[in-house]
Structure 1
Amino acid sequence: MKQSTVFRLSVTLFVLFSFSVVATAQPQLPAFFSDGMVLQQQTDAAIWGKSAAGKTVKLTTSWDRKNYAAKADDQGRWKIRVRTPQAGGPYEISITDGQTIRLRDVLIGEVWLCSGQSNMEMPMKGYRDQPVIGANEAIFAANNPQLRFFTVPRALRMQPQDTVKASNWKKATPETVADFSATAYFFGRQMQQTLNVPIGLMQISYGGSSAEAWMNEEALNAFPAIKKLPAADSAKISQRSPMSLYNGMLKPFIGYAIRGCIWYQGESNYERPDEYETLFPAMVSLWRKEFGQGDFPFYYAQIAPYNYSQLPPYNTGGKYNSAYVRDAQRKALDKIPNSGMVVLMDVGEENCIHPSQKAVGGQRFAYLALGDTYGKKGFVYKSPLPDSIRIQNGTMVIRFKNAPVGLTSFGKPLVNFEIAGADKYWRPARAVISKGELHISSPEIKDPVAVRYAFRDFVIGELFNTAGLPVSSFRTDDW
């Protein structure tokens, strides 16, 4: 046989083989559409993927035997919305474009996005030499197939992605829980116990990440001081690079039906508190717009006190004080609709940026969600916040909201208050709790104009409502 004939035959066989592979390939789904997944109950949950261009994709759900269909576009992309029932399962979902795949052991329940930086990412087993208090007992007792989670692997990308690195849904067992987010697990465990429905947790976090890394280019155009990395500099990309985590980790997940989000981040933006005051609400607005599910609940942790001056570049003084970012987060409550803030003033550690009492934060996240989103009654679930301030005979009197039975220091002295007069010079102040109000004064100031509480980089909060939820650090000035 001539060499040219052999070549043409080889090419023909290659083309036929390639066509056969394309023609018989199963529909392609992002990694999180898989066996064991949890879908949000009683909603139009989107399921999407890729097939050959122009192919008709059919989908059947076992809970109602309803059939759906969509045609893949010229790039092979398709999306189908399925109506989910009340919580239950396990169910199956069949997807075919000529070749069939079946998603088995699918539960219907409540799905929460859990995102942020290292304090959300910190696993139950802890970091090296940094424990999670109570984790070993919780890991030992973890055996709950109704609590499931999916961890999106770390990924930094210059361009938006369609899917994430290989991962899979896992049921809560000692083997799986040890490597899962401690904050998210303690949150999800309480949610499942209280609601008694399947809970799905999607963990999308990256240690050391900045808020701008979780935003897209369009949203960041409103912040010209944030410089985007040129495409030619892709080798320099990091978890603090604008858009890097939005593109690599969040974008593929956008559109998955969720009930809400819990967020623990801010440490990597602590040196830019004024910017964070508008950047953070803009990020939340972007996510809600992208997901297209309205103003879903967004609960976030106020960063815990910590001595940031021990981190490079070792800045001190002025606004190099994490209290300013905590204050920006406090103010964000008025800028972000349907939001809530977990206060961690009582669990910070001076020399460790990762507080070990993760169960405290997870439980407080659950309180917020159960009270605000699910309407559970009979317990206090929000930390006190200043509500009104008046000056009375040289004393500043503050009334707080979210303190239905008043305030307490649990017997400890109130030592973290300062007041200032018109000279803007801060002096230590005496604070007294009286009939649910706080009376603050100093013999050195006859006419006070401003007050601050726990407004230092590292401080242990001492003021709580009687339910034990701490008061956020705050200031009444804008100096």
Structure 2
Amino acid sequence: MRIPTFILLALCFSLQVAAKVQLPSIFTDNMVLQQQSAVRLWGLAKPNARLSIVGSWDKKAYILQVPASGKWNLKILTPKAGGPYTLGFNDGSLLSLQNILIGEVWLCSGQSNMEMALRGNSSPILNASEIILNADNPSLRLYRVSRAATLAPTAELKGQWMESTSATARDFSALAFQYGQILQKKLKVPVGIILSSTGGTMIEAWMSKNSLNAFPEVKVPESLDPAQAVHKEPTVLYNGMIAPLLGYGIKGFLWLQGESNRHEPELYEKLFPAMVADWRKNWGLGDIPFYYIQIAPYGGTDKTRSGPRLREAQLNAAKIIPNSGMVSALDVGMETDIHFMDKTTLAQRSAYWALGKTYGIKGIGYQSPELKSMEIKGDTAVLTFNYAPYLTSYRKPLTLFEIAGEDKKFYPAKAMIKANQVNVSSQDVARPVAVRYAYKEWVKAELFNNDGLPASSFRTDNW
């Protein structure tokens, strides 16, 4: 039966009049709002209605006139960490969010080693059962963004804030969960972790079209073929999994990605800082902390040394990206599985960066040894390191150093630690000009500082 036009119009009008406040799914029960800040809220409401927003922490009413489009946004002030609270929205119909906490919010993003859940898969997670057993924590809240790849930036995403329990943590990122758990226990405030990650993705997929305009070698698709791995295409994950979050109040970012870009380290070295700058600009929160985890070594015989070159690109990025820090993963990789089991060590080291640098907690060592200088003394290269009052190999021989002369041919080197220096030499090189450390696809870290943090692979040449 055909419905008369006037009935359809009346029905549409009545739906519009009766419409309640609608919020993006990032705003739900159990959410965490960033403490002591002006957090942005947005959504839909009745056009031209008077919208009142009240948080139970101070009962202050924020009132605005909803535009004719029905789309609204405003900022409200949050207090010191605490809760639980309620947050009410009223445009004539009341919508109330329950069990809200005020605390610290971090966005964790990247590819599979960030995405992998505690429950594991064919690559299990080290100590998962114990971690899941102790996951109950009402002060830790988890939000997982559902996978979405789109050609244009979207306004909505799928997800739900959840309290941390054994059941909810089991299906959440092993690394991001433990990062949040450590922060919550140490800071003794509520912590919210937003996870937006997808395995097997290149950095280009996480970048906006505007940011990629500076890189003509990266082709942004004009259409998507559902039969193909669309989540690997440039811009699509930024559009579907980052853009809907823009403006949500966060403290900082934690990033683990790069395995899928191993074949193009030179391009990655340019793309990565550009992505960070673009995310920060679009979030509108200034140079908030951006911490990231270097890719771990993985077995292979790639003679182009693409793995160490990618690690080098990430090491160099820390010197370019303001308010950033890199976690070395040189000791956690697995020769036969790119999905290393030990997510705990990297969660801890990431938390050290946040606790030591962002939150200013004294006594926490968070920076790995970093080459400061090389001085040639006769047939020996003397390497001096920052962030290492003392270096150690845990009394094991150093086997990963190589040294070369003017002929650019590298030989295995003898390496001896003296306080914050390493003396490197070889009987095959009378006048050294360059040194490399762990500059191979598959290695296991040998050089650490007195905080137990591993030095990244590095080289002094650019051959």
TM-score bracket relative to the smaller structure: over 0.9
Contact 1:69 1:80 in 2 (8 A): no
Q: Which residue of 1 aligns with 2:27?
A: 33
Contact 1:210 1:239 in 2 (8 A): no
Distance 1:352 1:232, change over 3 A: closer
Separation in structure 2 between the aligned mates of residue 63 and residue 48 of structure 1, nearest angstrom: 19
Give the 5 Å matches for 1:43-54.
43-54=37-48
Unaligned runs of 5+ in 2: none
Give the 5 Å matches for 1:296-445.
296-308=288-300, 316-319=302-305, 321-404=306-389, 406-445=390-429
Contact 1:70 1:79 in 2 (8 A): no
Percent of aligned positions that are identical? 46
The worse-fitting range, judged by mean Cα deviation, of 416-425 and 147-156 is 416-425
Aligned partner of residue 91 in structure 1, secondary structure: strand
Q: Which residue of 2 aligns with 1:148?
A: 141
Separation in structure 1 between the aligned mates of residue 347 and residue 437 of structure 2, nearest angstrom: 25
Separation in structure 1 between the aligned mates of residue 151 and residue 161 of structure 2, nearest angstrom: 27
**What is the RMSD computed on CA atoms of the aligned residues?**
1.5
Q: Deviations over 1:124-145 (max 9, x none)?
A: 11122x1111110010111110
Deviation at residue 235 of structure 1 after TM alignment: 5.7
Q: Which residue of 1 aligns with 2:262?
A: 270
Aligned partner of residue 231 in structure 2, secondary structure: coil
Contact 2:118 2:174 in 1 (8 A): yes
Give the 5 Å matches for 1:243-262.
243-262=235-254
Separation in structure 2 between the aligned mates of residue 220 and residue 236 of structure 1, nearest angstrom: 22
Aligned partner of residue 108 in structure 2, secondary structure: strand
The worse-fitting range, judged by mean Cα deviation, of 105-114 and 48-57 is 48-57
Does 1:475 find its partner at 2:447?
no
Does 1:463 find its partner at 2:456?
no
Give the 5 Å matches for 1:174-193.
174-193=166-185
Separation in structure 2 between the aligned mates of residue 70 and residue 298 of structure 1, nearest angstrom: 34
Deviation at residue 72 of structure 1 after TM alignment: 3.5
Separation in structure 2 between the aligned mates of residue 371 and residue 19 of structure 1, nearest angstrom: 56
Aligned partner of residue 320 in structure 2, secondary structure: coil
Deviation at residue 338 of structure 1 after TM alignment: 0.5
Q: Which residue of 2 aligns with 1:312?
A: none
Does 1:21 find its partner at 2:46?
no
Deviation at residue 13 of structure 1 after TM alignment: 2.6
Letter in 2 for 1:184: A
Identify which of 199, 222, 231 aligns with 1:239: 231
Contact 2:106 2:252 in 1 (8 A): yes
Separation in structure 1 between the aligned mates of residue 404 and residue 53 of structure 2, nearest angstrom: 66
Does 1:75 find its partner at 2:69?
yes
Contact 1:229 1:237 in 2 (8 A): no
Unaligned runs of 5+ in 1: 1-5, 310-315
Contact 2:142 2:194 in 1 (8 A): yes
Contact 1:40 1:111 in 2 (8 A): yes
Identify which of 89, 98, 104 aligns with 1:110: 104
Separation in structure 2 between the aligned mates of residue 75 and residue 300 of structure 1, nearest angstrom: 39
Letter in 1 for 2:372: D
Contact 2:435 2:460 in 1 (8 A): yes
Deviation at residue 51 of structure 1 after TM alignment: 2.3
Deviation at residue 19 of structure 1 after TM alignment: 1.1
Q: Deviations over 1:11-59 (max 9, x none)?
A: 3233222211111111111101010100000000001112244333221
Identify which of 193, 206, 212 aligns with 2:198: 206
Contact 1:191 1:199 in 2 (8 A): yes
Letter in 2 for 1:282: A
Distance 1:195 1:22, change over 3 A: same
Q: Deviations over 1:397-446 (max 9, x none)?
A: 11111113x10000211000111111111111111001321000111111
TM norm structure 2: 0.97
Letter in 2 for 1:408: T
Separation in structure 2 between the aligned mates of residue 171 and residue 322 of structure 1, nearest angstrom: 38
Deviation at residue 75 of structure 1 after TM alignment: 3.3
Does 1:119 find its partner at 2:119?
no
Q: Deviations over 1:83-136 (max 9, x none)?
A: 0000000111111222220011110000000000000000011122x1111110
Separation in structure 2 between the aligned mates of residue 148 and residue 344 of structure 1, nearest angstrom: 27
Letter in 2 for 1:34: T
Q: Which residue of 2 aligns with 1:313?
A: none
Q: Which residue of 1 aligns with 2:222?
A: 230
Letter in 2 for 1:454: A
Letter in 2 for 1:371: G
Distance 1:296 1:308, change over 3 A: farther
Distance 1:357 1:252, change over 3 A: same
Q: Which residue of 2 aligns with 1:99?
A: 93
Separation in structure 1 between the aligned mates of residue 68 and residue 266 of structure 2, nearest angstrom: 45
Contact 2:401 2:412 in 1 (8 A): yes
Q: Which residue of 2 aligns with 1:3?
A: none
Letter in 1 for 2:303: G
Separation in structure 1 between the aligned mates of residue 40 and residue 421 of structure 2, nearest angstrom: 49
Does 1:65 find its partner at 2:65?
no
Letter in 2 for 1:102: S
Aligned partner of residue 136 in structure 1, secondary structure: helix
Q: Deviations over 1:170-199 (max 9, x none)?
A: 111111110000111111111111000000
The worse-fitting range, judged by mean Cα deviation, of 206-215 and 71-80 is 71-80
Deviation at residue 379 of structure 1 after TM alignment: 2.7
Letter in 1 for 2:51: V
Q: Deviations over 1:237-289 (max 9, x none)?
A: 62221001000110000100100111000001111000111110100000000
